[in-house]
Amino acid sequence: MIKIADLHKVYGRGITKTHALKGINMEVKPGDFVAIMGRSGSGKSTLLHLLGLLDTPTSGNILIDNIDVLQLPEAQKGSFRLERLGYVFQEYSLIPEMTILENVFIPAICLGKEKSYKQRATELLKTVGLEERLSHYPNEVSGGEQQRAAVARALINRPKIIFADEPTASLDMVSAKVVLDLLKKLNRELGQTVVMVTHEPEDEKYVDRVIWLRDGYVSNPHLAS
């Protein structure tokens, strides 16, 4: 489903040049729950940004469903993200002017699923345990609830893959467990593919395998495919 070959990412120029990724090769199969782990600065968030088409690599290839996504024009990358990928950010990423329900159904409006998007958003919010928070604004709910709403938003268009960038980094332990349980449940019960960046060792128990990054390299290449 996801195949990455010789992926490099270099930031800056001259003396400020930083080689964040130095030839990453890995694969993620449908239904996998993969964690990308490593120390701060190891390149794990950079890798997830590239996989989520939020940034472009310096070189290398990314195939998603056998589509060379790096060759897509910018507008088509947006459509690809909208239709096939779900992204959960590290920090609260809801739009503060919209209610929890509106935040969740926004991506669906763009796809023109007008008749059913509110119903589906409501169902998703029930799934993540936020049925009492539909008309609340982000500043009226807890961090954990915001992050669960972000997961619901990532799921609204039935994406094939969810990318989660340290989704529990800003949460207390209880809220973090709720979010991780939710991702696990989605993976186990719905077969949702999840790629999650984390630096918490205890998160390992939720995932099928861990790909370790160190200084821009995969340090356990035998588990990367």
Helix (H) or strand (E) holding 162: strand 161-165
Q: Does 96 bind another protein (CB under 8 A)?
A: yes
Residue 149 and residue 5: Cα distance in Å, rounded?
33
DSSP 90-137: SS----TTS-HHHHHHHHHHHTT-TTTHHHHHHHHHHHTT-TT-TT--
Q: Tell me the closest approach of the beta carbon of residue 186 to another protein, in angstroms.
A: 18
Residues numbered 149-168 forming contacts with another protein, rule: CB under 8 A: 153
Q: How many CB atoms lie within 10 A of CB 151?
A: 23
Query: Which amino acid is located at 210 in the chain?
Result: V
For residue 54, count CB atoms less than 10 angstroms from its CB and return exposed for 0-12, middle for 13-18, buried for 19 or more.
middle
**Interface segment toward another protein; rule CB under 8 A; list 58-66, 97-105, 178-186, 203-211:** 97-105
Closest CA to 194 of 61, 75, 28: 28
For residues 78 and 221, which CB has a smaller minimum distance to another protein in the complex?
Answer: 78
Q: Tell me the closest approach of the beta carbon of residue 2 to another protein, in angstroms.
A: 18
For residues 97 and 189, which CB has a smaller minimum distance to another protein in the complex?
Answer: 97
For residues 61 and 93, which CB has a smaller minimum distance to another protein in the complex?
Answer: 93
Residues numbered 109-138 forming contacts with another protein, rule: CB under 8 A: 109-114, 137
Provide the token pair at 148.
Answer: 């669960």
Contact pattern from residue 29 through residue 58 relative to another protein, giving x for each residue in contact according to CB under 8 A and a dash for the rest: --------------------x--x-xx---
For residues 133 and 206, which CB has a smaller minimum distance to another protein in the complex?
Answer: 133
Q: Does 78 bind another protein (CB under 8 A)?
A: yes
Q: Tell me the closest approach of the beta carbon of residue 152 to another protein, in angstroms.
A: 13
SS3 220: coil
Residues binding another protein (CB under 8 A): 49, 52, 54-55, 75, 78-83, 85, 87, 89, 93, 95-98, 102, 106-107, 109-114, 137, 153
